[in-house]
A and B are shown apart, each in its own frame.
Chain A
Amino acid sequence: MSNIPVDVKYAKTHEWARINEDGTVTVGISDNAQDQLGDMVYIEVPGVGQTVTAEEACAVIESVKAASDVYAPIGGEIVEVNDSLTDTPETVNQDAYGEGWIFRLQPADKSEMDDLMDADAYEEFLESEAH
């Protein structure tokens, strides 16, 4: 049973998004996603200053099994990326919702957060995907 914290929202493509006090949004991948992908070997983070739209592929995570795109859950401008993942990609496996964050963006339209799933909806989504 994977960890699904309630303080974040979830995209169908298994990213999580957390609104911070300053209005920016931090993004990572869910515990379910890191478990499915296996041991991380490399994270290609987006560029600071890059503008993304919702559902646009903006990062790549490479595990021993596969290389997968990470999609922006909402649109905005990237203001910070987690450079430490270059040296320790395994942080995404160990602490997917904390130190394993991938990038932080300034949202273009905060209401896009409403299109994402809450913890319960994501849990149901995972169960339906499993069958």
Chain B
Amino acid sequence: MPFIPHTESDVRDMLDAIGVRSVEDLFDEIPAGLRMGKLTGVPEGLNEQGITRLMMERAEADGRPLCFMGAGAYEHHIPAAVWELTTRGEFYTAYTPYQAEASQGTLQLLYEFQTMMAGLTGMDVSNASLYDGASGLAEAVLMAVRGNRTSKSHRILMPVTVHPEYRQTAHTIVNNQDIELVEVPYNSGGGHISLDSLRPFEGEDIAALVIQQPNFFGILEDVDALTEWAHRQGALVIGVVNPTSLALLTPPGEWGEAGADIACGEGQPLGVPMMAGGPYFGFICCKQALVRQLPGRICGRTIDRDERVGYTLTLQAREQHIRRSKATSNICTNQGLLVTAATIYMSLLGADGLKRVAQACHANTRKLVAALTASECVEPVFNRPYFHEAVLRFSLPLDTIMRPLHAHKLLPGYALSNDYPELGDALLVCATETRTDGDIETYASHLSRIIASQTAAGCPVKPKMA
């Protein structure tokens, strides 16, 4: 169905019917001093030919650099069938319908998505998705405060190893709701949260502990020990997890004795292209006991009076169209189209395929780290196991390396100096299954040539030797 605007004669007929001269006259109520007038910074509109050309020129300017960057969004191969099916009109048109217009096919897809996410995370229930991983963490924090009946403190332990943007987003959302996010420092040798970092909080009233696995540095946390510690303190455990990694790592539902209470994260790795930052989708799953605190849409399966299987949005009394200000969240939608892609991606790969993707990511990152640290100017920063990302420190200023690498159409990694200045010239590098041995060789050889030219005798730039 195309966009069908009013014709000029439609507009003329309507104005005549209400006795108004022009559309501008309808805005008479707004005082002249408040009216925008012409938007002086915005050029005239372009026609379709003009805008197509403009967008193609812009796209070319982005280029297609060889990507060794992760930091929350990952380049994975997406089988062609995923978007071929997702962009079919049946899914694409009403891509995130409300209950009244949702077809049984759409609802069945949501139910299958929920089933897959619950299975992947090892939890009892999943919702039908949130906006993204960052707001998913905020929702999990709100949920933990509501759901933890024994804690009165509204204090959440937030390790610094949680993605910086997730922490900022959670702060924005919960800050005015009397919830305090308390920073927990990381161990400088391992890049992880040790029990030493938690010791100062022993015996205090804590609503929840957040554990990101793998953490932002790619490092694997001691999830069992951390979960046990939190539960002994009467705190709930929120696991922030990467869905690809769950094919290999212990899922949050199996952390410690009782498992994490809430699991959330970014679903982009499951069949969603990187798309310059979005749209992505967040997922959130929980234990059965907390299901009534889950935000967002939940799809259920039941039978009708003729005993045929049917699907419907359920537990709606959590949502704001029924509970208004007492709803579990202000979210009233989900990321239907991206969830469709993710569900098809997971179905196509299957458990076995997802595991092979994860294994390839792990193997490639290890190869990348080995290739780059072959240079004496590059060393790993942390000494613990990692998954698909690692932090490397350079003995030369990072921007003397980044700029030439960018010029060679390479994205070397995510520079950590803004978020973690204490790490110095440190880079978070990532190699997914899409990076070949040739790609890694390209990066390593460019890097060694750049380092050689920087450290050559007579070069004005003096490097810091480790």
Binding site for B on A (CB under 8 A): 42, 44, 47, 62, 66-67, 69
Contact B292 A47 (CB under 8 A): no
Binding site for A on B (CB under 8 A): 149, 292, 317, 322-323, 326
Bound CA span A107–B149, Å: 22
Q: Contact check, B292 vs A42: say whether CB atoms are below 8 A apart.
A: yes
* A67–B323 touching, CB < 8 Å: yes
If the complex has contacts A42-B292, A44-B292, are A67 and B317 also in contact, measured as CB distance less than 8 A? yes
Do B322 and A67 touch (CB < 8 A)?
yes
User: Which residue of A has the minimal Cβ distance to B317?
Assistant: A67
Q: Which residues of A contact B326 (CB under 8 A)?
A: 69
Closest to A69 in B: B326
Instruction: Give Cα A79–Cα B377 distance, bound, in whole angstroms.
Output: 67
A66 touches B322 (CB 8 A): yes
Shortest 4 CB-CB contacts between residues of A and residues of B: A67-B317, A62-B317, A47-B149, A67-B323
Give the complex CA separation of A84 and B323 in angstroms: 24
Q: A44-B292, A66-B322 are in contact. List 9 more A-B contacts (CB 8 A).
A: A42-B292, A42-B317, A47-B149, A62-B317, A66-B317, A67-B317, A67-B322, A67-B323, A69-B326
A62 vs B149: C-alpha distance in the bound complex, in angstroms? Answer: 20
Tell me the bound Cα distance from A47 to B152 in angstroms.
12
Give Cα distance in the complex from A62 to B326, angstroms. 13
Taken together as a complex, chains A and B put the C-alpha atoms of A67 and B319 apart, in Å, by 10
Closest to B316 in A: A67
Which residue on chain A has the smallest CB distance to residue B150?
Answer: A47
A-B contacts, 11 of them at CB < 8 A, read: A42-B292, A42-B317, A44-B292, A47-B149, A62-B317, A66-B317, A66-B322, A67-B317, A67-B322, A67-B323, A69-B326
Residues in chain B near residue A44, CB distance under 8 A = 292
User: Nearest Cβ distance between residue B151 and chain A, in whole angstroms?
Assistant: 11
Would you give the shortest CB distance from B293 to chain A, in whole angstroms? 10
Please give the distance in Å from B238's CB to the nearest CB on chain A: 21
Return chain A residues, CB-CB under 8 Å to B322. 66-67
Residues of chain A within 8 A (CB-CB) of B292 are: 42, 44
- Residues of the A chain whose Cβ atoms lie less than 8 Å from the Cβ of B149: 47
Query: For residue A62, which residue of chain B has the nearest CB?
Result: B317
Complex Cα spacing A47 to B326, Å: 18
Q: Which of A42, A66, A67, A69 has the most C-beta atoms of chain B within 10 angstroms of its own C-beta?
A: A67
A47 to B147, CA, bound (A): 11
Q: Chain A residue with minimal CB distance to B149?
A: A47
> Whose C-beta in chain B lies nearest to the C-beta of A64?
B317
